[in-house]
Chain A
């Protein structure tokens, strides 16, 4: 819409001011987090938003005394477990719903959409009781199971677009060459859908990495905390170690940020490809 009709100076100024406001509002929290994480005086009474003296001490404290390295490793284990299981299950299900017509196919698709709306608060009570009964509290595998379930609907829904984008002729060519279905799946479908699998894996990763409610409910043992839950320990009843909170937050945020920015464009492309090709 740019360049619609002549633009006056005041209109250009308004757009410029709007641009700056968008940048400040979007980047503000991230910048405050970074500057406090590196601020040597983060806990010295004055809560200035801009660091006057830079230091790595907050990070050193968080990793040494705060055991944040352990929490990050726990988060990584949980996130990787979630990616692998959720990716495999979602790929098979996506192939089924986009390559075959079978009874209840539409019903399954609707269910996949609907279960995304279920509030975490409704699930946490029964799943807590169940996990307690199964002895899964304080085990990371309990969290992996829950996060697989949370990330599956989105992964199925998205991969379905990627699978639909692969021309059927390629499949049929494999059959003509005498391939069985599993061979065709492994040598034709899987390599072609791999970019989509990477994209949805990133979303599963973020779901598992950021999750908070189950992470604080299932885990009491502080050597098993994930990073999102472990941040709470820097709050005590009387004071908060803000330098440590922000340093830990930075360590929590950076991997998510990198993945998110890497995959954002590609995921969009995959969805469009799935929609345009048949």
Chain B
């Protein structure tokens, strides 16, 4: 799902189908027969469960209900519990502030790298693109373990380095226990994994910026900074809109990278975000209704962002 850069489909809608000839060979129900198996899978495994999680969020559903299949309705109690839970005051910023910071850093880093690669000669450009592809292709599980290894308490590479520089006492330092340091490490992880998508997309966009316009700007005495903000950025605004919104969606629902860091699986409640909080409440503590209510909150936020995404997309093309 990393690169849903939608393509346009220009002629298909315009060209009149060769009606007489096609009708003879293709019955009217054929498109439905072709699309139904896929729709059935999406309906059963994505849409129906999504509705069910909404229903669960209004129920008292615990281990007993899981075994007996009984259900009892709670109304809005689960949501009331979530809103009154002091954890919300850390989990919400851990989700929203983290996403905002990471999107800003990912888009900035990706754009900077794209502008840099555009300056390179052919060989250096191929090497740089290959390198960022490697960063992109690493599984999230693996990269997270590497960062945990590097920042590990006492004898991790960065702790030892900071110790040698006299910044911290390595024996007293465990960055994973402090909320801010924990999320700073998660930020390094998520930005390192996310910037290649932005860089590759923006790089493709840069090749569409007309050379004459940039050369004219140079003749007018515009420096690189002004050229970017006054020529490149306005022309590539749609590209930036898409990479920003897609990054926002991905960074809002980051789970694996948080869960796999020390304390991220619920042992340190300060570092829970909405995703890990929901998962731990439901799957580890068997409070499925309450976990579902947290998941519903997260989903509603994502749906709002998705709506913005679709509007941006529809302005650019006709499906």
* Partner-B contacts on A (CB < 8 A): 1-2, 4-5, 15, 18-19, 22-23, 25-27, 29-30, 32-33, 36, 45-49, 89-90, 92-93, 95-102, 105-106, 108-130, 132-133, 145-146, 148-150, 152-154, 156-157, 160-161, 164, 168, 172, 175, 179-181, 184, 203, 207, 209-210, 212-213, 217, 228, 231, 240, 242, 245-246, 249, 252-253, 256-257, 260-261, 264, 267, 271-272, 274-275, 277-278
Which A residues touch B255, using CB under 8 A? 119-121, 213
With A128-B283, A278-B15 in contact, is A119–B214 under 8 Å at CB? Answer: no
Flag if A97 contacts B136 (CB, 8 Å): no
By beta carbon, the residue of chain B nearest A133 is B69
Alpha-carbon gap, A175 to B8, bound state (A): 27
B86 within 8 Å of A (CB atoms): no
A21 to B93, CA, bound (A): 31
Is there contact, CB below 8 Å, between A29 and B147?
yes
Interface residues of B in 150-194 (CB under 8 A from A): 150, 152, 155-157, 160, 192
Asked whether A30 lies within 8 Å of B134 as measured between CB atoms, the reply is yes
Q: What does the 1/0 interface line of B221-248 toward A look like (CB < 8 Å)?
A: 0000000000000000000000000000
Q: Are A261 and B133 in contact (CB under 8 A)?
A: yes
- Interchain CB contact under 8 A, B302 and A117: yes
Interface hit among B42-50, B77-85, B97-105: B42-50
In the complex, chain B residues whose CB is within 8 Å of the CB of A90? 38
A27 and B134 form a contact (CB under 8 A): yes
Contact present for B146 and A249 (CB under 8 Å): yes
CA–CA, A242 and B298, complex, Å: 34
Interface residues in B121-157 by Cβ distance below 8 A to A read 121, 124, 127-128, 130-143, 145-147, 149-150, 152, 155-157
Is B74 located at the chain interface by the 8 A CB criterion?
Answer: no
Residues in chain B near residue A96, CB distance under 8 A: 30-32, 34-35
Task: Determine the main DSSP class of B at the interface with A.
Answer: helix
Q: Give complex CA distance A161, B10 in Å.
A: 11
Whether A157 touches B6, Cβ cut-off 8 Å, given contacts A93-B35, A132-B66, is yes
- B: residues with CB less than 8 A from A are 1-12, 14-15, 17-18, 21-22, 24-26, 30-32, 34-35, 37-39, 41-42, 44-50, 52-53, 56, 66, 69, 112-113, 115-121, 124, 127-128, 130-143, 145-147, 149-150, 152, 155-157, 160, 192, 196, 206, 209, 211, 214-215, 218, 249, 252-253, 255-256, 259-260, 274-275, 278-279, 282-283, 288, 291-292, 295-296, 298-299, 302-303, 305-306, 309-310, 313, 319
> Which of B9, B196, B218 has the largest number of chain A CB atoms within 10 A?
B9
* B121–A2 touching, CB < 8 Å: yes
What B residues does A129 contact at CB under 8 A?
66, 288
Question: Contacts A129-B66, A146-B45 given; 18 further ones with Cβ under 8 A?
Answer: A19-B124, A22-B132, A23-B128, A47-B156, A92-B38, A93-B38, A102-B32, A119-B275, A121-B274, A121-B275, A125-B56, A125-B278, A127-B45, A127-B49, A180-B25, A249-B145, A253-B138, A260-B133
Identify the 9 closest CB pairs spanning chains A and B, nearest first.
A278-B11, A149-B45, A100-B31, A260-B137, A93-B38, A96-B34, A126-B49, A275-B7, A119-B253
Contact between B39 and A108, CB atoms less than 8 A apart = yes
Residues of B within 8 A of A89 (CB): 37-38, 41
Partner of B149, one of A26, A46, A246: A246
Q: Contact check, B127 vs A23: say whether CB atoms are below 8 A apart.
A: yes
User: For residue B207, which residue of chain A has the nearest CB?
Assistant: A1
Q: How far is the CA of A64 from the CA of B15 in the complex (A)?
A: 61
**Of B1, B116, B128, B141, which one neighbours A228 at CB under 8 angstroms?**
B141
Q: Which of A4, A47, A98 contacts B9 (CB 8 A)?
A: A98
Task: Say whether A26 contacts B135, CB under 8 Å.
Answer: yes
State in angstroms the CA–CA spacing of A98 and B184 once bound together: 45
Q: Report whether over half of chain A's contact residues are helix, strand or loop; otherwise say mixed.
A: helix
Q: How far is the CB of B157 from chain A (nearest CB, A)?
A: 5
Known: A29-B192, A47-B156. A111 touches B52 (CB 8 A): no
Q: Establish whether residues B143 and A29, one from each chain, have CB atoms under 8 Å apart when the complex forms.
A: yes
Give Cα A133 to B69, complex, Å: 9
Nearest opposing residue in chain A for B193, CB measure: A29
CB distance from A178 to the nearest CB of B (A): 10
Whether A32 contacts B38 in the complex (CB less than 8 A), given A249-B142, A253-B138, comes out as no
Q: Which of B18, B34, B196, B295 contacts A119 (CB 8 A)?
A: B295
Are A106 and B319 neighbours in the complex by a CB distance under 8 Å? yes
Closest beta carbon of chain A to B287's beta carbon, Å: 10
Q: A26-B135, A126-B49, A129-B288 are in contact. Are A36 and B141 (CB under 8 A)?
A: no
Distance of A207 Cα from B27 Cα, bound (Å): 35
| CB-based contact A27/B131 at 8 Å | yes
Chain B residues with CB below 8 A from A145, complex form: 41, 45
Sample (21) of A-B pairs whose CB atoms are under 8 Å apart: A29-B135, A92-B35, A98-B12, A100-B34, A112-B42, A115-B46, A120-B253, A122-B49, A122-B50, A122-B278, A122-B295, A122-B296, A125-B282, A126-B48, A127-B49, A149-B46, A153-B42, A156-B38, A175-B22, A212-B256, A260-B137
Q: Are B132 and A26 in contact (CB under 8 A)?
A: yes
Is there an interface contact between A32 and B146, defined as CB atoms closer than 8 Å?
Answer: yes
A264 and B133: CB pair below 8 A?
Answer: yes
Question: In whole angstroms, what is the CA distance A187 to B215 when docked?
Answer: 51
The one of B1, B10, B295 that contacts A154, using a Cβ cutoff of 8 Å: B1
